[in-house]
Structure 1
């Protein structure tokens, strides 16, 4: 009877834990949808509307414009459309699957960094020395890297991104550095959902993170996650 009672308690506890996990996942999805809708409204939608209004105004007054005036207006439209395109790249990069599917972490990072190089003016340096890690570590580090890259594209105005991925005997290190404009870290900790999300993922992995930045001096993120070795395949 005592054993049966204990099993029932354990079963109830597991069910409650699973229900909490499902509810938490659903809430995360809702938050992401709201964030994406807000970003689309605040950036791309307004930029496209402004471009449309400018082009409409140009078409109506085309005959009365000097060549220099027309060129200035078209350059302004081009700049706005370029910003809208960049904002869409950020969102599409952020919406990539959070899991690596059949890729390793090394391969997944190479994929998104290659896309970053192809679709932006940011120069990328990628140094790696790593094997296959436990899936939970790989998926979380992949998502962390996506978050950092999204922030670099959206806010940093950087021209260079450095990524270092290294496996050591008892831990894996992910270091990412950009040369962007940086920010006030104390303010960002309160306002940035992305930074909070990164910290929570690092905490879930029992890792440590050093985050350094200041206005005008870029951003440096250095994460260390412990690796527990198993008896059969060398990793748990």
Structure 2
């Protein structure tokens, strides 16, 4: 026996209707509930005997308005019925969103309305979560620094992010429906992009490559990755192409490679200069010092072999003393070439020695200006670096500048020392200076090791100025 026949619920077959996932109400003309299934009780939180005593307007409160109730009844009696979204009140008082399908139902020759009610709370929550995720996705994509585009299997554009629109200069409406073959340029870059997307579509596997693209006057290096997107059947439905601008990265890599090449050239040049210097010193030692020592030995041998004539011995000793003095000078010259002794006395004496040597060898006037009151105190490493930079600058002036006046100006601040080397020579175009010029590279390397700066300014016909700045805090004390 049907269990509803025992409690009066014999209007509809429970064995079928209680199995559906939707709530069912059978409503009479007086809005009384003639039938409800278990899903309706479960959805509203009532027991069957509690809910069956209510009217439909107790649940659907909008029907408390007679006009609304009359309209609802009239529309529900049509053959196609009516479908709408509404809100039902639970026993707890909570209002829940529902979707209602009302249609006419004749039972025992009486017109009724059968309401199929679906609880859409979960659907609404899923929709809200989906919309939230969609919003998050759009926020992420539209604010991404990458170029993004999605294509269907016919290679038509479904979506591009604002960065792409800005780059190509069009609106989203204009971009939608683009065909890849109609929009890419017919050059090597365009063909590589087409093959990249096509290979991803054909293989169903991601692919990536670096492409170089030109936009207006700008050249961009893009790392492009194409990712296939699948449906539930495992079929490729769309292709997502993501392009990252790595122009700056490649520029930095090129700069690093160029810097490494410059360092290799500088090291090679420094090694060659060291070898040349050793060769020159070795020649001086062999030719001059060796000759002097040979002469000394020969002179002493002569003294030992000749008769002990005081006058001849005295003459020979005077000759040997002169030769010894020359030998001492050769040793001093070699020592000075290796490291001038003036460097051990501080910066100012070293610069004074450089100035005097420059004037003696070039015949050009050179003025050295140093602070009168505040002594210039630097560590040995810094003194050596400044000395070599000024020495290199004076060497370049004597070789190339054709100057008649040179000035070396030393200034100190609270935390730095500034040295300027100026000449009134012929100058040069700054653009013509090669970045791999060994003299300039050597100067920059020396100063860079002490965390200093070097600035060079020159104008053809107006001379050249080199300014060297060293932080005092970076210099070791004596």
Same fold (TM over 0.5): yes
The structure whose residues are more often helix, as a share, is 1
Q: Verify: 1:135 aligned to 2:375, yes or no.
A: no
Distance in 2, matches of 1:27 and 1:210, equals: 22
> Could you say what secondary structure the match of 2:435 adopts?
helix
Match of 1:174 in 2: 419
> Aligned-pair distance for 1:176?
0.6
Match of 2:438 in 1: 193
> Could you say what secondary structure the match of 2:447 adopts?
helix
> Could you say what secondary structure the match of 2:468 adopts?
strand
CA contact (8 A) 1:98 1:139 kept: no
> Aligned-pair distance for 1:165?
1.2
The structure whose residues are more often strand, as a share, is 2
> Aligned-pair distance for 1:25?
7.5
Greater CA radius of gyration, 1 or 2?
2
1:1-236 aligned within 5 A: 28-33=270-275, 97=339, 100-129=342-371, 130-190=375-435, 192-228=437-473, 235=477
> Aligned-pair distance for 1:162?
0.6
Change beyond 3 A, Cα 1:35–1:102: closer
CA contact (8 A) 1:161 1:179 kept: yes
CA contact (8 A) 1:227 1:235 kept: no
Could you list the per-position Cα deviations for residues 161-192 of structure 1 after superposition, in whole angstroms to 9, with x for gaps in the alignment? 01011222211111110111112222223353
Structure 1 window deviating more from structure 2 (149-158 vs 191-200): it is 191-200
Change beyond 3 A, Cα 1:138–1:227: same
* Structure 1: runs of 5 or more not aligned: 1-23, 38-91
Distance in 2, matches of 1:28 and 1:162, equals: 28
Distance in 2, matches of 1:27 and 1:119, equals: 25
> Could you say what secondary structure the match of 1:143 adopts?
helix
> Aligned-pair distance for 1:124?
1.0
Distance in 2, matches of 1:229 and 1:194, equals: 24
Distance in 2, matches of 1:143 and 1:127, equals: 18
Considering Cα pairs closer than 8 Å and 6+ residues apart, tell me whether 1 or 2 has the greater RCO: 1
Alignment length (residue pairs): 155
CA contact (8 A) 2:423 2:463 kept: yes
Distance in 2, matches of 1:218 and 1:32, equals: 30
Change beyond 3 A, Cα 1:191–1:114: same
Structure 1 window deviating more from structure 2 (168-177 vs 146-155): it is 168-177
CA contact (8 A) 2:343 2:350 kept: no
Runs of 4+ in 1 over 3 A off after TM superposition: 24-27, 31-37, 98-101
TM-score (norm 1): 0.57
> Could you say what secondary structure the match of 1:228 adopts?
helix
CA contact (8 A) 1:229 1:235 kept: no
Distance in 2, matches of 1:210 and 1:228, equals: 20
